[in-house]
Structure formats: structure tokens, C-alpha cells
Structure 1
């Protein structure tokens, strides 16, 4: 079997110097039927390794309900990497950030007050059980057992969060006890404090950066005096948030930085080679004083775009890599334009009035207290003596639509730091609250969602609430629409295709909500932008009749489902 180890100055493959040329593909952001295509295109760019995070909350959204099938079939993904003749790097966290909801940590783990990412005994019990599950998949696929896995990462940019060495030592012990024999790494941004806090002497330190390669590798070398230098997150783009712009990086500048890095002899993993999509409700959020939920697209301005097609950056990076390693002569086929057409949508009824189990309590229950993993909770209360006035909520997480007796009054948005709204007199108050995405880094991991804290009307506590969780995917699948309801409207339509095809659903004439094609949950849309299209992967479509369901929270400007010939990700910074 092949061996992989760390030498005095280089990685060694069967004792011979080896440079890792890797690219990140997150299996959980790509339709499984498209994994092979994306992996193969990485090889055609000149890469020899695929790197992936493991998203714990994708595999175990509820405690004890472990799933490693379908979208979560990490073993199959690694087998496809091996079938392409490539190596693999696995980064199981448990924390991954990745602009993924809750940083990859399950809500059931983060919501009970335990000290996260620490040597807290109860936290370590759950983390250890999770890692053992992952390593049951990874261990038999290590390179010395005939598989592709050459490196496994411990934690993730831990120096930006903490410095609990006992925690890191426990993760290493669990990893080794589970049969992981390949070299173990850590990654941190190249600052003295982060590199010192985020690793252990026995772990190989790597860096994360996207520019000033020579300078940052010099900082890394001070902390990793022997062995190969590696940038294991070479940031070639960036992510987008609702209400912002579509972030891009200059292709020539990114290629030049990559060239500088490779000229030093360092190894690299390009983050991202292919970003993919935050399908469903999987987007994370930023909060550095202002809450900013991230968009459904995770295009990342990567060498492969959101739909898996090569960009100018693909060819520029390929030219750089060809200076340092053999690059296949074959190029990816040019993708044809996607079908462009429009179909009418028919109003199917109100959908937030859908019958569901409800909890009646003095104060509203959070999503977490309800054990609710979907996007919405409906809160209802009888107004005392039919009075109106100033409604004040301690904290709204994250966006609330307020109505009285079925008449919309306005919204309260966490992004705007809203806390108060004036409501008219009436019999019943309804507040529909959306979890727009959980913060994916730092100490806001696991914070509760919903109406949080005290709620008052004219300074008096407002009590006697009904909290109703709404599972948007289940509602769309069951057509649970009420023809006489007064809430937001559901819309449906059908369209025919000659054969399965990638599609780009245009949401410019819609407001805010969720879209499904043949039951496949495309994700969230919002006129707030920048993203205009939703990517529909070809495997989610069929030859013949296809069905679209749109759960609109506000209003459609046009009751039409239009499809564009290509991605439209929004305006960019000049």
C-alpha cells in the first residue's frame, strides 16, 4: 500500500517528495449525482487532491438520528475521489464554519448552555461519539489501506476562538484511537497568536489566507519550523449576504497570488474549487454588530461556478499550476446555455395557516424549545380588551411579519435592530417569525431563534401565546394550502423538459420565500439581492412534466416562473 508522511521539508508519498495541490468541494453542497463531474473537473485543472469538510448537523440534525446515506454519503464521495485517481483531505471539525448554518454544529448540541469547542466533559462526550462515527467511514479509506485519504484536520481555525489545549489533545486522542494513522493537521490564519493558540506541537500547522502569500508563509514558518509549508485554505473568492453585493476577486490577482505561493514550494488547497449551493435552509449568517444572513448561492467566485461550469479563474489557475506540475491536456466540455422559458403560476392558497401542532404557554416558545429545525414559527395571542398601541419585543431572531386580525401591519428585522412597532386595535395579534440562518462562527453559535425575551404592549406584559412551528418543506410536499386563508400565498406550476437539465430560476419578480422543483428544496429567495437566480441541478428535474411550488411570504410581482439561460448572481463591487 502507498504511504504518506511528513518529511523534514516536504510531504512524502512512498518516501518521495510530494506537493499537495488540492481544491475544496463540500459534498453536502452539491447534488450527489454531480459529485463525480466536479471531482473530475478538479483533476482537469491540475489538482491532485480533493478537500472536504464534514457537516455534523447534516449527518445528525437530531440527537441519535445519524445518517450517512444519499447527500450524506461521505464514503461514496471519497470513493469517487479515489476512482478519479486523486487523494482526499478530510476536515471533520467538529466545528467547520464554512458559512454553513451554526458552523456545522447541531442545534441540539449548541442550545443547552454547554461551553462549546472546549474540554467541557459533556461536550466532549458528544463530540467524541460524532468523530468516531466519521472515522468509521474515513479510517478504512486512508491511503495506507488502499484509499484516498492522506490528511485529517483537527478542529478548524481554533486559534480564532480559543486556546484550550486539553480540548485539542482529546480530539487527537479520539482520532488516533479510531484508527486514523495519516498525518494530522490544524489550520489558522497566519498571526502569531492564532497559530500559537490553535494547535499542538505534534500537529502539523497550516495557514489560511488569500493574498500576500510570501509574507504569510514566513509567519507560518516561524511556528512550523520543519516539514512542508501549506496554505490549506487559499481564499480565491468570497461569500455573499442578503442586501449586499456579489463578491468577486480579480482573476489575474488571484492567479498571481497562487503563483507566488507555489513558487515557494508550498502545498495548497484552493478554497473553494467549487462552492455549490446552500440548498434548503442551510445558509449561515454573519454578525459583527449587524446580523447578515447569507444567500442561497455559494458560488464563491470559484474556478467552477455554482452550476459546476469552468470560469476564467479555472483556466488562469490551470496555467499557473502547469508551471509546477503536469496538467491533463483534456479540458472540460463547454456547457450549453440552459433552457430559457416562462410558465404561469396558479395561486394554490394560503400556506402559513397550515394546521400543525401548537404549544400554548404564557410566553412565546423559541424554535429551540419547540425542537423546530425549519424556517418559521407562527405566534398568536389575543389582544387584551382589543387594545392596540406600542408593541415592544426584547429581541427578534430574525425577521417577523406582524398582523392584526389578518391585516399586515409591518415587519421587525434583526438586521435593522428593530424592537418596536405600533399596532392598531383588534382582536388577535399574529407574528410570523423566520429563522434566516444561524451565525456560523465565534460565540453566537447556538443562539436561540424566535421571539426572545419579554414582549410588552403599552408597557404591560403580553401573555397567553400559541406557538406553532411551520415546516416549510413538509407544507410544500403535502400541498397543505387553505383556499380561504388570509396569510401568505402558495403558488404552483408545471413545465415540460425534453430531458433533465440544469435550470436557473429567475426570482426577480418575486419578493421573499422558498422554492421547490419536483419536491427538491432549492432554498430561499429574496428581492433584497444580490442573487437573482436559484440553481436547479439537472438531477432534480425529469424529462417530461416537472412541478414547481413557490411559498411566497409577501407578494409576487408577477405570477410567473421564468428560467434564464445562465446564472445571475447580482451586481459586483467595482
Structure 2
């Protein structure tokens, strides 16, 4: 039986000291066809271990419906890492943060207003137990104690940044042990007093997360864990991007210096990230402190491999530092993955949203607007419609707590935008015959970190005209999971006046990675051959979307854009490199 153990200040495996040189790779942010490529590059950089989170909301998208296929096939990913000679660290904690939608928690938990998250709440724990009953037996054969590559499992993630419920943490620990998780269990927290006090539990190995000042961070850990190996479970060597903010970068020499400092101390390290990947679909998270800040589709992270898997200057700088401490073979990278520029594509057909509602949804009548979770919806858009009696003069339409961005239409005409970070009202004159109001709300990603984690989407309190709440609503869920029922037609200009789907097709003879430029388009969602590639927005910083070659097919390919604000020239361009603004 192989088991990672602790002796003094060292990890031991098979009786021999082991320094973990690890990198984070999220299988759910990489198309499965590229898992091998990314893992081989990690190994070529000089690392012996990979680490990944396991997002609950990916594997149980609806309560009781579990998904472990394709990009969600965690078992295949771990087995592949083992076949390539890599150790594995798994983080199956119910919460992952990771700039991922709702920090990995499933949105359907929010249908219960009384449920308390990430604590010893019976309703929450019952849902968690059902998930662990499905997930952990799948992981057991992958553990090193059962002949697999998995050396360690995380109990909870940065819990000290959120709470102090030790009974909850012990419940997780005991639940893992009871389900046969007999490898090293660990926690990871920031290197601050309150974080370590809240996140550590007896009998579980503690690690710390930081991006610089390694000696200070490890000294703080030593105050709470006087013996044992030093390990940085998240070495933040890059950072993520928010919409409407500049692209984050960090010089490679800073990363190299901090790594050198850690390795001089004999510490183990996990790069967060080694390769970031992509927040496909609607799965980006958001932050909420002073204001709501959604995260972009790209999870490039300015790290050792860029979003498309190409080694960056940091890759070579890090390998050079590792070579000071570990004898490495000559650098050998897997075959180069080409990027191609397929050129311009004219979108030739459209389907205005309001003409397609019956193909996409069924209306539900409610007295008041309700958030999407109450209707069994997790992601995408939701449409609220009602009729206002008239006449009314000098009034203002107020969306009370809209989450996150709403387009308002009056008798089918665009009346204005209401945003969570700018919740001003819209002036509204109601004629004597009354007024039809339609409010299309976009879920831009649930909060993934901090005290505002509970983040239901849609309209959460109500809609007022002046001080009077409006009632009698028809609500349509628009998750956009199936666009096959859309009826496209040649464009006639009407699509520019309302949110619309645009369609175009293009031929591909040689499959290569490519990047989709959307100059002239405002905001919306991209679907390639039925796959939800992600969100775009002219406000940047990203100006392109990464399109991996495995999502294309030889011959004809279909591109659909759901554009919220219209476009003057419905043309997109496929280029061979990204643009971060």
C-alpha cells in the first residue's frame, strides 16, 4: 500500500522523502482531447504532481442527476495523469472558489431560502451527503492506497476566509474517512491568523496559499502547525480578469524569485495555476465586495501555459529554477498545436428572440417576479413580462435588486438597461391603453468568494412603477441549453431592434485552434456546433474567444451568436492569436 505520510518536516512516499512540485490543471476548463498535452507540458516543466478542484455544480447540475462524462470525466483525467507518471492532489471539497460559478456549489441549493451554506445546517449537509455518496466511491479506486495516483484530498477550501464552524469541518473530514478516503487529508487557507484559526482542524494537515513573501507566510503557518512539511497549496503566479477592468499580468522574474525562495526552504509547492484554461458556457464566477464584478470567459491567468496551452516566459523561468534543485532531463514538449486564422464569416440568418420564445421556453405565471432558482433554472437568461394599466405620467420603472443585468422593453421597444452595479430607474410614460413590459435579465455569474456567496439570479425583490409594486407576471426561463428549435430566416433589419440569434456556417478542411474576434458586436453568447463557447462583451478586456480545434469538425461548421444589443455589420473574424485589449 502506497500512502503519502509525514515524518518530521518531510513528506514520505514508499519510505522516501518526497517534495511535491505540483501544478493546477482543471479538467473542466480544458477540452478532454487536450488533457494529455497539458499534462505532458506540466511534466516537462519539471513537476511531479498535478492538482485539480472537483466542482459540485458540474457533476450534479440538477439535484439527483449526476454527470461524469466528457469534460466531466474526472476518473479518466486522473487515470491519464497516473499513466503519465504523475502524482495527483484532488480537492473534492463542496466549495472550490476558483473563480468558478458559485464557487462550485450547485445553484439549485438556492431554491431553499432557509438553507445555510458551508456550515452544520442539516438541509445543506443532506444534499452534500448525497453528492459525496456518488462522488467519493468513484475516487476510491484512484487513491494511492488502492493502486492509483491520488496522494491527498482537500477537506474544505479556504474555509477560514468564510467561517468558523469546526463541527462542519469535522463532519466533512469524518464523512470522507467513513467513505474510504484513507489518504492524507488537508486544508488550505491564507496565511493570516483569522484564516488559519477558522480553517484548520485537528488531525488534518494544514497548507497555506499566497503569491509572495514566502518566508513570512510559512512563519505564520509555523505558529499554528509547528512541525510537518511546509507546503504552499496555491502559489498565485498570475491572476484572473474581471469584465471592464485591465488584463492582469505579473512579471516572470517575480514568480521565479518567489519559487526560488520556497524551494530554498525545502517547501512543496502547487502552482495556481499551471494552466488556466477557459470558463466555457455560463460557468464564470464573480466577486462582490464594494461592487459586483463578474469574471471573463478566458481563464488565461497569465500563467505558465496560456489559455490555448502554449508555454509562456513563466514556463521557462520556472523550469530554470526547478533545475537548480532537481535533475531534469532535456526539455521535450509534446507536438506543437497549431493555431489558424479562418478569416471572416458573414452571419447570414437571424432569429429575433421575441419571435422564438415558444421554441425556447414555456411561460409560468407568478404574482411577483421570482429568481431563476425558484423555477428550477441555474444559468442563462430569464424573461419577465407584465401589462401596466394607464395612463401614468412622470413615473420611473425600478427593478428592485436585479441580478445581474436587465434589458427593458416597452411595447417591444428597447427602453433601457439596468445593471446591478448601476441600478438606476428608467423613466416611463404609460398611455391610456396601457403598456406591455418585458424585462430580459442576464445571469453574469454567481459570486464565488466571500461573505456575499448567496447570490440568486433574476429579479429578487420585485419591480415597481414609482412606489407601486407590479404584479401578475409571465416568466420564461431561457437557459439556452438547446437551440435546435430556433427558426432562422434571412436578415431583414428587425433583429437589430431586439436581442437576436445570428447564424452562419463555414467550411474547415484543416482543424486548428483559432480565436474568434467579435469587433462591432456588443454583448452576448457564442455557440459553436451546439457547444456554448462562452460570453463576449465589447467592454473587454478580452477581445477574442478561444476556440479549441476539437470543437470544430471537418467540413461544415455552425456558429450561432446570441447578441443582446444588435450589430450593424454581422461579420465575425477567426484569427490565430488572442487579444487581451
TM-score by length of 1: 0.96
Equivalent residue, structure 2, for 1:538: 549
Asked if the contact 1:111–1:447 (Cα under 8 Å) also holds between the matched residues in 2, the reply is: no
* 1:149-191 residue CA offsets vs partner (Å, 9 max, x unmatched): 0011110001111111111111111111111111111000001
Within the candidate set 409, 420, 426, 1:414 is matched to 420
Greater CA drift, 294-303 or 423-432: 423-432
| Matching of residue 213 in structure 1 with residue 214 in structure 2 | yes
Equivalent residue, structure 2, for 1:385: 390
Equivalent residue, structure 2, for 1:104: 104
State the alpha-carbon separation in 1 of the partners of residues 225 and 132 from structure 2.
26
Cα distance change, pair 122–452 in 1 and its aligned pair in 2 (3 A): closer
Equivalent residue, structure 2, for 1:452: 460
State the alpha-carbon separation in 2 of the partners of residues 393 and 343 from structure 1.
38
Greater CA drift, 559-568 or 261-270: 559-568
Cα distance change, pair 425–155 in 1 and its aligned pair in 2 (3 A): same
Once the two structures are TM-superposed, the CA of residue 343 in structure 1 deviates from its matched residue by 1.3
| Matching of residue 524 in structure 1 with residue 531 in structure 2 | no
State the alpha-carbon separation in 2 of the partners of residues 271 and 80 from structure 1.
20
Greater CA drift, 235-244 or 324-333: 324-333
Cα distance change, pair 316–514 in 1 and its aligned pair in 2 (3 A): same
Cα distance change, pair 386–505 in 1 and its aligned pair in 2 (3 A): farther
State the alpha-carbon separation in 1 of the partners of residues 555 and 330 from structure 2.
37
Equivalent residue, structure 1, for 2:177: 176
Once the two structures are TM-superposed, the CA of residue 557 in structure 1 deviates from its matched residue by 4.1
State the alpha-carbon separation in 2 of the partners of residues 143 and 459 from structure 1.
63
Secondary structure of 1:194's match?
A: helix
Asked if the contact 2:45–2:315 (Cα under 8 Å) also holds between the matched residues in 1, the reply is: yes
Asked if the contact 1:350–1:482 (Cα under 8 Å) also holds between the matched residues in 2, the reply is: no
Secondary structure of 1:510's match?
A: coil
TM-score by length of 2: 0.95
State the alpha-carbon separation in 2 of the partners of residues 396 and 328 from structure 1.
56
Instruction: For 1:226-375, list aligned pairs within 5 A.
Output: 226-332=227-333, 333-353=335-355, 354-355=357-358, 356-375=361-380
Equivalent residue, structure 2, for 1:46: 46
Once the two structures are TM-superposed, the CA of residue 482 in structure 1 deviates from its matched residue by 7.6
Secondary structure of 1:438's match?
A: coil
Secondary structure of 1:439's match?
A: coil
Equivalent residue, structure 2, for 1:556: 567
Once the two structures are TM-superposed, the CA of residue 487 in structure 1 deviates from its matched residue by 2.8
* 1:273-297 residue CA offsets vs partner (Å, 9 max, x unmatched): 0111000000001110211111000
Greater CA drift, 387-396 or 499-508: 387-396
Cα distance change, pair 482–543 in 1 and its aligned pair in 2 (3 A): closer
Q: How many residues matched?
A: 568
State the alpha-carbon separation in 2 of the partners of residues 226 and 406 from structure 1.
67
Equivalent residue, structure 2, for 1:547: 558
Once the two structures are TM-superposed, the CA of residue 335 in structure 1 deviates from its matched residue by 4.4
Equivalent residue, structure 1, for 2:129: 128
Cα root mean square deviation, aligned: 1.6
Equivalent residue, structure 1, for 2:486: 479
State the alpha-carbon separation in 2 of the partners of residues 437 and 86 from structure 1.
33
Asked if the contact 1:350–1:488 (Cα under 8 Å) also holds between the matched residues in 2, the reply is: yes
State the alpha-carbon separation in 2 of the partners of residues 19 and 480 from structure 1.
58
Once the two structures are TM-superposed, the CA of residue 551 in structure 1 deviates from its matched residue by 0.9
Secondary structure of 2:580's match?
A: coil
Once the two structures are TM-superposed, the CA of residue 447 in structure 1 deviates from its matched residue by 2.3
Greater CA drift, 457-466 or 503-512: 457-466
State the alpha-carbon separation in 1 of the partners of residues 317 and 283 from structure 2.
31
State the alpha-carbon separation in 2 of the partners of residues 307 and 530 from structure 1.
17
Asked if the contact 1:56–1:106 (Cα under 8 Å) also holds between the matched residues in 2, the reply is: yes
Secondary structure of 1:283's match?
A: coil
Cα distance change, pair 278–86 in 1 and its aligned pair in 2 (3 A): same
